[in-house]
Amino acid sequence: MQEYDIITIGGGPAGLTVGLYGGRYGLKTLILEKQLVGGAMAISPLIENYPGMEPIKGTDLTARYKQQSTFFGAEIKELISITALDPDEKIITLNTEEQFKTKTIVFTTGSSHRKLGVPGEEKYTGRGISWCATCDGSFFRNRKVVVVGGGNSAAIEALHLAKLTPELHMIHRRDKLRAEQAYIKQIEKAGIQFYWNSIIKEILGDGKKVTGLKLANVKTDEVTEVPVSGVFISIGYDPNNKLATEIGIELDENGYIIVDKKMQTNIEGIYAAGDITGGQKQLTVSTGQATTATMNAFLFMNGGSWYK
- The phi and psi torsions of 224 (rounded to 5 degrees) equal -130, 155
Query: Is there a catalytic annotation at residue 135?
Result: yes
The C-alpha atoms of residue 70 and residue 152 are separated, in whole angstroms, by 39
Catalytic residue among 88, 132, 238, 252: 132
- The H-or-E segment that residue 223 falls in is strand 223-227
CA distance 116 to 295: 39
Active site residue 206: no
Helix, strand or coil, per DSSP, at residue 207: coil
The residue from 5, 136, 238, 260 that is catalytic is: 136
Q: Within 13 Å, how many C-alpha atoms sit on residue 98's CB side?
A: 8
> Per the residue annotation, which of 60, 135, 221, 275 is the catalytic one?
135
Instruction: Determine the Cα–Cα distance for residues 20 and 17; give it in Å rounded to an integer.
Output: 5
CA-based max dimension of the chain: 66
- DSSP secondary structure, 150-217, as one string: -SHHHHHHHHHHHTT-S-EEEE-SSSS--S-HHHHHHHHHHT-EEETTEEEEEEEESSSSEEEEEEEE
CB contact at 8 A, 116 and 131? no
Angstrom distance (rounded) from CA 177 to CA 119: 25
∠139-144-146 over CA atoms, to 5°? 90
Q: Which residues are identified as catalytic?
A: 132, 135-136
